[in-house]
């Protein structure tokens, strides 16, 4: 399975608590709900497109609890997102969650060698193994080079605090945009699809002057 990370993010890279003021107050975060004023039919169309590609889901414990608390109550049979989340296999990365506590079925708790477990899941046939939210898990996947594609909806908001998708100390990486899947939506939300193009080192260069003309030189 291809592993995709699907994230709502602000202009300053924050992904914490987009959906409600009390969604995730860890670290004293008090700016939740910043996404909601920018929701539109265009945004919903993009997100439903993400979920159409899902074959299974991978969550950290916190996001599993938050998303399960909401979407398990959505019983509208025409809600594509709810139907996928409530019926497809879910895997939860946690060393403390018990099988009994993982009540949003069908769910399997991943313990022990997390990177090894996820590598094995990726070898399974089927559609995408999707990550939604799950900040700490996303950092682990990025460092291990396990992410095949990032899908971002970037909102025209500076949150100014909170968990960032790529925080200070993140492993350097470069990406290639998938042009046919990237666009600016009405209202200013940017939909980006990015594929990793290099992990661990950043190509660099410099501007110089060559015969009176500004030019670039790659190192």
Q: What pLDDT is recorded for position 101?
A: 86
| Structural domain boundaries, residue 151 | 3-218
| Residue 219, pLDDT score | 80
Q: What is the structure's pLDDT at 103?
A: 87
- CA atoms of 152 and 199, how far apart (whole Å): 19
Overall number of domains in the chain: 1
Q: pTM of the entire structure?
A: 0.93
pLDDT at 197: 94
Interatomic CA distance for residues 190 and 153, integer angstroms: 6
Residue 32 tokens, joined: 């939740």
What per-residue confidence (pLDDT) applies to 3?
98
Q: What is the pLDDT of residue 115?
A: 96
Helices 80-87 and 41-52 cross at an angle (nearest 10°) of 30
pLDDT given at position 99: 82
CB-based contact 31:160 (threshold 8 Å): yes
Per-residue pLDDT tens listing for the chain (219 residues): 999 999 999 999 999 999 999 999 999 999 999 999 999 999 999 999 999 999 999 999 999 999 999 999 999 999 999 999 999 999 999 988 888 888 899 999 999 899 999 999 999 999 999 999 999 999 999 999 999 999 999 999 999 999 999 999 999 999 999 999 999 999 999 999 999 999 998 889 999 999 999 999 998
Phi, psi torsion values for 35, nearest 5 degrees:
-75, -35
What CATH code is carried by the domain that includes residue 155?
A: 3.40.430.10
């Amino acid at each position: 399975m291809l592993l995709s990370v699907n994230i709502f993010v602000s202009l300053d890279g924050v992904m914490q608590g987009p959906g409600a003021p009390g969604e995730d107050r860890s670290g004293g975060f008090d700016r939740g709900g910043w996404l909601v004023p920018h929701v539109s039919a265009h945004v919903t169309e993009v997100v439903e497109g993400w979920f159409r590609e899902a074959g299974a889901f991978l969550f950290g414990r916190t996001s599993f609890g938050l998303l399960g608390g909401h979407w398990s109550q959505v019983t509208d049979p025409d809600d594509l997102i709810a139907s996928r989340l409530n019926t497809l296999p879910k895997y939860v990365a946690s060393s403390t969650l018990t099988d009994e506590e993982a009540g949003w079925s069908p769910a399997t708790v991943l313990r022990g060698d997390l990177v090894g477990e996820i590598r094995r899941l990726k070898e399974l046939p089927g559609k995408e193994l999707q990550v939604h939210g799950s900040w700490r898990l996303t950092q682990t996947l990025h460092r291990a080079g396990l992410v095949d594609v990032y899908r971002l909806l970037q909102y025209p908001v500076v949150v100014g605090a909170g968990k960032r998708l790529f925080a200070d100390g993140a492993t350097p990486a470069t990406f290639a945009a998938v042009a046919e899947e990237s666009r600016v939506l009405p209202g200013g939300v940017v939909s980006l699809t990015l594929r990793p193009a290099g992990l661990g080192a950043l190509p660099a260069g410099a501007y110089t002057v060559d015969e009176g003309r500004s030019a670039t030189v790659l190192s």
